Amino acid sequence: MWRWDRWGTVEYDGPALGQAQVVRRLSGSMARGAALVGAATTVVCAVGGIVAAGVPGLSAAALGGLLATGSALLTPVLMLRTTHLEPGAVMLAAFGGLAMKAIILLLALFTLGGAPGLHRMSLAVTMLVVFITTTAAEAWAGQKLQILIGTDPGSTDA
C-alpha cells in the first residue's frame, strides 16, 4: 500500500522489487510531486505577476506555469515508456526528458515573449522558477524511494 506525504510524493509500505516496479513507483511519485509543486509555484508567481504588471503579468505567469508544469511531466512519461529497457536506457530517457524540458521552455519563451498582452519578464521568471522547483520535486521523489538491491527476501535463492 502507499500513502501521500505532505510534499505530494508517495511513500510505499515496502521496498520496490525489480527495475520495472522501481521505475513505475519513481515516475509516479515524480509526476505527483512535480504537479503539486508546479501548481503551488505557479500560484505564487501569478500573484507576483499581478503585482509587477497587472493582468498581462497574471496571464503570462499562468501560461508560463502551465507550460513549465506540463513539460515537467515529460520526464516521468519518458521513464514509464522505457520501463522494460535496460537501466542505462531509463537513465538516458530521464536525462533526455530534462534536456527536452529546457529546450521546450526556451522555445516557448522566445515564441511567446513578444506576444501582446503578456508580460515577458513574468513569463520568463515563472517558467524558470517552476522549472527549478519541479526539478527539485522530482529529485526529492527519487531520494525518498526505497529500493531493494539483491534477491527478494521471500525467495528461496541464496
Average pLDDT, the chain: 85
| Measured CA distances, 135 to 12, 13, 14, 97, 124 (Å) | 21, 25, 25, 11, 17
Tell me what pLDDT residue 144 has: 77
pLDDT band at 156 (very low <50, low <70, confident <90, very high): low
Q: Is the dihedral of CA 108, 109, 111, 116 positive or negative?
A: positive
Q: 95 vs 19, which has greater pLDDT?
A: 95
pLDDT (tens digit per residue) in 101-130: 899 999 999 999 889 999 999 999 999 999
Tell me what pLDDT residue 112 has: 93
First-last CA distance in the chain: 27
Q: Is the pLDDT at 146 greater than 70, yes or no?
A: no
Q: How far apart are CA 117 and CA 121, in angstroms?
A: 12
Closest by Cα among 64, 44, 43, 31 to 140:
31
Closest by Cα among 69, 87, 77, 71 to 27:
77
Give the gyration radius of the chain's Cα atoms: 18
Tell me what pLDDT residue 68 has: 96
Instruction: Give the three cell numbers for residue 129.
Output: 522558477
Provide mean pLDDT across the span 40-48: 97
Q: How far apart are CA 35 and CA 141, in angstroms?
A: 12
